[in-house]
Structure 1
Amino acid sequence: MDSELRIGTRVLNYSRYGHSGGVPVLSLGGSPSTRWKRPEVVAAIADAGLDVVFPDRPGYGGSTRQPGRTVAAAAADAAALADHLGWSAFAVTGGSGGGPHALACAALLSDRVTRCAVVGGIAPPLTDGPQPTQADEDADPRRNETSWLAAHEPASLRPLFEQSAAHIMSAVEAGGPEFPPDPGTPPGPPARDDAEAMARLTATFVTSHDGWYDDLVAFARPWGFDFADVAVPVRLWYGSADERSRRYAELLAGELSAERVEYAGGHIPPAPAYREVLGWLSR
């Protein structure tokens, strides 16, 4: 169900899935992403008996843009949304670029957040020094070119987004699936034949790149909270075929004293792994 919340002069759009009486969970999407979820995700939420809300961060999916926002700003929006929904306490999860925002909620809303699951998340990048090379990134994923550009030459990001989005949509138009398959698994059905899949892809990669841009710029600046303030249980999930996320999880685990969990798959968790995350959040 699509809804909106007004926060001052801004609109925050969100979708709600599952059971209204279930354990409340706030789920923060990647960079980029949409609040509209695939059928297998919706089914997993329903089976878990949870009440899961997916907001579109400012600049995504019709949510009013908030230029210059920090990662920590997500906590204020989360609190406003929880108040609106009547949630006194809730679990939070974030996938990929949603991971930092979920951790912000865990740090800054420790009196309300019960536990925090991060799936394929990132650690704060290192943007000092000269522009990183691939060898630099191979040695430490925090030293990556995209984050360096976000810190030093942010105007260069939008052409990169356009190239990436064009490549993804060209593959879809040629008959590709909504998501690339994990290694060794067959691809899904052609996304171009599924109107809802095309709506999700268009919202994520075509309609606007503002949220994507603002996310990456926010990641390359101080996040606005301390890992030491995260006082709730945290688990860090990553795929067996996602080496980058594994290395980030190792870095974050040291900062957060969090448990790491590897699942079989790539950056996007397959259904069994996603159900495991939901089960942990519901405890």
Structure 2
Amino acid sequence: MRNQVRATDGRALTVERWGDPDGKPVFLLHGMPGSRLGPAPRGMVLYQRRMQLIAYDRPGYGGSDRHPGRTVADVARDVADIADSLGIDTFAVAGRSGGAPGALACAALLPDRVTRTAALVPLAPRDAEDLDWFAGMGPSNVQEYTTASADPEELAARLIPRAAGIRKDPRQLLEELRRELTASDRMVVADVGLREMLLRNYREGLRHSAYGWIDDMLANSRPWGFDPADIRCPVLIWHGELDVFSPVGHSRWLARRIPGATATIDPAAAHFAAFRALPDVLTWLLRDLPTPPLSEQQPA
């Protein structure tokens, strides 16, 4: 079910809900570039878990208005506005890749509402102490993030035509990524159903402009607006050791920084294997959420 939600500053946010409408609520924050239509478990799986999954287009992606100058911390404000509009008090949050910092923002800045948080293949803050931020990162991401820090206008000049090409044929992005995919990631992306979901996701995310992507890159290149050390809810961090898009050192840094965080590192996996880990991660997220009465459940 699709909703249009107004943020407190008037911006439109496009929201999608799947699964049991009376089930335990979990926000799923998409990658970069991406949209609310990113890979997620099928509706039947969500009903079996008595779960409703809520995804939205971050500002500038898909059907959501742009928010120039946004920070990672701003994700928490948008998620809170969406939860308020849906009448949801407490919830869990998962974020993958470019959405993982936002999930951590929700945990840090909405402590009375977020029960558990999962960060899959996350990035660490750009200003993280005692972390070589680019160590293990593939050349394309090193170039883009270096440009984001040094020359935001140049970043926009490069991503706008690139996004236009992907909008016409989203297979172009998968072909670009293929040059840096590990054997593990190639196996994941070879799945026909997952590829179709990824193509739909990229097309939707970039259908109006490149600015969601640009603003994500800039937000991840600046101070986040909160300290992960302030997080007090249970946090699960999942990462593939072979990841070259967001290196595993970022997760190890976050695991040291966040009190009581649990880190799961898969030595044989890379970036896109996070899709396969997601169902188990969602099960973990449900543990501290109140169970809805059986009378409120909807049929599958």
TM-score (norm 1): 0.82
Match of 2:64 in 1: 63
Q: Calculate percent identity across the aligned residue pairs.
A: 35
User: What letter matches 2:49 in structure 1?
Assistant: A
The answer to whether structure 1 residue 262 and structure 2 residue 265 are counterparts is: yes
Instruction: State how far apart, in whole Å, the 2-side matches of 1:38 and 1:186 are.
Output: 12
User: What letter matches 2:4 in structure 1?
Assistant: E
Match of 1:6 in 2: 6
SS of 2:4's equivalent in the other structure is strand
Match of 1:109 in 2: 110
Moved more, 255-264 or 197-206: 197-206
Q: How far 1:261 sits from its partner (Å)?
A: 1.0
Instruction: State how far apart, in whole Å, the 1-side matches of 2:198 and 2:98 are.
Output: 21
Moved more, 163-172 or 48-57: 163-172
After superposition, what is the alpha-carbon deviation per residue over 1:75-116, rounded to whole angstroms, capped at 9, x for unaligned? 111111111111111001110011111111100000110010
How many residues align? The count is 272
Instruction: State how far apart, in whole Å, the 1-side matches of 2:53 and 2:226 are.
Output: 25
- Greater RCO, CA 8 A, separation 6+: 2
SS of 1:52's equivalent in the other structure is strand
Equivalent residues of 1:41, 1:271 under 8 A apart:
no
Instruction: State how far apart, in whole Å, the 2-side matches of 1:266 and 1:168 are.
Output: 26
Match of 2:25 in 1: 24
Distance 1:272 1:48, change over 3 A: farther
Match of 1:217 in 2: 218
Equivalent residues of 1:40, 1:271 under 8 A apart:
no
The answer to whether structure 1 residue 279 and structure 2 residue 283 are counterparts is: yes
SS of 1:63's equivalent in the other structure is coil
Match of 2:82 in 1: 81
Distance 1:39 1:84, change over 3 A: closer
Instruction: State how far apart, in whole Å, the 1-side matches of 2:273 and 2:92 are.
Output: 19
Equivalent residues of 1:92, 1:116 under 8 A apart:
yes
Q: How far 1:207 sits from its partner (Å)?
A: 3.5
Structure 1 unaligned runs (5+)?
128-134
Match of 2:253 in 1: 251
Q: What is the root-mean-square deviation in Å for CA atoms of aligned residues?
A: 3.4
Q: How far 1:2 sits from its partner (Å)?
A: 1.3
Q: What aligned pairs does 1:189-204 form with structure 2 within 5 A after superposition?
A: 189=192, 198-204=199-205
The answer to whether structure 1 residue 52 and structure 2 residue 53 are counterparts is: yes
Match of 1:150 in 2: 148
Distance 1:126 1:50, change over 3 A: same
